[in-house]
Structure 1
């Protein structure tokens, strides 16, 4: 597709109907696979537009990808009882193309209705893999009775939370930080070596493969840490019989251009993956019948709930001149909770505290 088609067409963005019209019959794959790519592009474009409306400096999709995951949905595939999967390729030059046949162990097919199959490339093991998305038929029921809890995400401590009954939890994010630091160090070393090579040369390709391996491995490690972190929080919510969980919305803190920061702080904030943390928490809590909500967290870290004075904490503890003191992350979570319950910041008595590390 012509990259400048949207500009040539009266200076307007290309819509879904026109995009599908432009791609129809141009690629030898199933029509639903082509539509999936179109939808992914349109969703990325809409997300960037919404972010720009909020004042964030997000970019519209502009890079051309060399490889792109292929999806088959609805009628695009057939799964046989013996484990054979047929991925349809649609029509090309007025002829039905033979399907891609993949034979796997029938025990690997999930017990449920498979909704989508995606072909992905695993850079860590340097091979293609099939990812099956399925529906197990279980419908979560929302809890009607229980307590309310609030959490505060952080860059050092992944998340801290408190409940109405005075229980609190802190889950450290130091392992996530260490993975980011090692990844950045290794990537910088490879980038330095690649800059001395001719692009496309044998040596350059060798370094590039090593770079993709490191990125893929670190991505898998980070995903594992985030899943463990969110599972620990969900288990704590079940222990405290939580029915509604609120979390501070830190969107915009990372991209605040008005605030001058050092390169080190900017690198730490750029590595802060709070968006994935929100997504994982949302679906895991809702699966257990706990409602999830993002709320405003403005001044929750700086405001003393006793005297109301604002002060930026310089250490891991918030200490006020009036005598109030509390761990800064627990203090912030308490302020988020009391603001929701009472409409103002109030002090809370923490009776039970838990500190967890990611193994």
Structure 2
């Protein structure tokens, strides 16, 4: 493949990736580079908080009362299909002699599925984080906080079902953090991971703790809110006021990944 120097942008090339465009049936080069421009941090604007999830990839609220939920169902479906196909191939491989022609054939198919699903997941995460960054720009956000959920997956003392453990193992929150961080900072929005302990369980009105059993948090005192928006509100009010307080949501947006 011949590359014209004029097509290469000015800057320090950090990564070169060769990809195959299945739609147009051709090879393409993907360049990651630094153009030397330093983003200026916003001095004025609102503060927003987000809560990552397994069903909804991320939910966020701004102090002006706007909220957004970006569903993660497509990411879940990619994980489920990948796991199903990999399990079928591993079952077939277990019946073959390792290194045989059939075993190699199934192994190639396995590597292809893993590679394809990884590309699909990467695409979904990029689309998800871009939609959130666009929302932050609409709300003139200058600082974005997100709940740190790393301890949830690593808590080995807590007994969980096999299904829950599988869901947590498929939860790619680490990449979500990384993509959000560099995309927000490129727009001048500061990024911070904060403690999210009890934000899902605590009622901001009466202070009672309750584990929600559905997609809505409903308290005996009369307070109710979507559980992910409720958690994001608690993260935000704890940062702003040092305690959980109820927030009035005036504008809500729900997005799906196509």
TM-score normalized by the length of structure 1: 0.68
Post-superposition offset of 1:132 = 4.1
1:197 is paired with a residue whose SS is coil
User: Residue 346 and residue 158 in structure 1: after superposition, are their counterparts in 2 closer, same or farther (change >3 A)?
Assistant: same
For these two proteins, the number of residue pairs brought into alignment is 258
The superposition leaves residues 30-59 of structure 1 with CA deviations (integer Å, 9 ceiling, x where unpaired) of xxxxxxxxxxxxxxxxxxxxxxxxxxxxxx
Post-superposition offset of 1:254 = 1.0
Post-superposition offset of 1:124 = 13
How far apart, in 2, do the equivalents of 1:115 and 1:223 lie? 19
Q: CA RMSD, aligned part only?
A: 2.6
The superposition leaves residues 76-114 of structure 1 with CA deviations (integer Å, 9 ceiling, x where unpaired) of xxxxxxxxxxxxxxxxxxxxxxxxxx7334465233232
User: Residue 236 and residue 119 in structure 1: after superposition, are their counterparts in 2 closer, same or farther (change >3 A)?
Assistant: closer
How far apart, in 1, do the equivalents of 2:6 and 2:214 lie? 52
How far apart, in 1, do the equivalents of 2:183 and 2:237 lie? 24
How far apart, in 2, do the equivalents of 1:115 and 1:246 lie? 28
User: Residue 310 and residue 325 in structure 1: after superposition, are their counterparts in 2 closer, same or farther (change >3 A)?
Assistant: same
How far apart, in 2, do the equivalents of 1:120 and 1:316 lie? 39
The superposition leaves residues 2-32 of structure 1 with CA deviations (integer Å, 9 ceiling, x where unpaired) of xxxxxxxxxxxxxxxxxxxxxxxxxxxxxxx
2:107 is paired with a residue whose SS is helix
User: Residue 111 and residue 334 in structure 1: after superposition, are their counterparts in 2 closer, same or farther (change >3 A)?
Assistant: same
Post-superposition offset of 1:350 = 0.4
1:122/1:216 contact within 8 Å kept: no
User: Residue 229 and residue 103 in structure 1: after superposition, are their counterparts in 2 closer, same or farther (change >3 A)?
Assistant: same
List aligned pairs for 1:53-72, cutoff 5 A.
Answer: none
1:338/1:344 contact within 8 Å kept: yes
User: Residue 234 and residue 104 in structure 1: after superposition, are their counterparts in 2 closer, same or farther (change >3 A)?
Assistant: same
Post-superposition offset of 1:302 = 0.2
Post-superposition offset of 1:331 = 0.2
TM-score normalized by the length of structure 2: 0.93
The superposition leaves residues 119-168 of structure 1 with CA deviations (integer Å, 9 ceiling, x where unpaired) of 89999999998764421122100000000000000000000000000000
How far apart, in 1, do the equivalents of 2:24 and 2:66 lie? 43
2:28 is paired with a residue whose SS is strand
1:148/1:242 contact within 8 Å kept: yes
The structure whose RCO (Cα within 8 Å, separation 6+) is larger is: 2
1:246/1:295 contact within 8 Å kept: yes
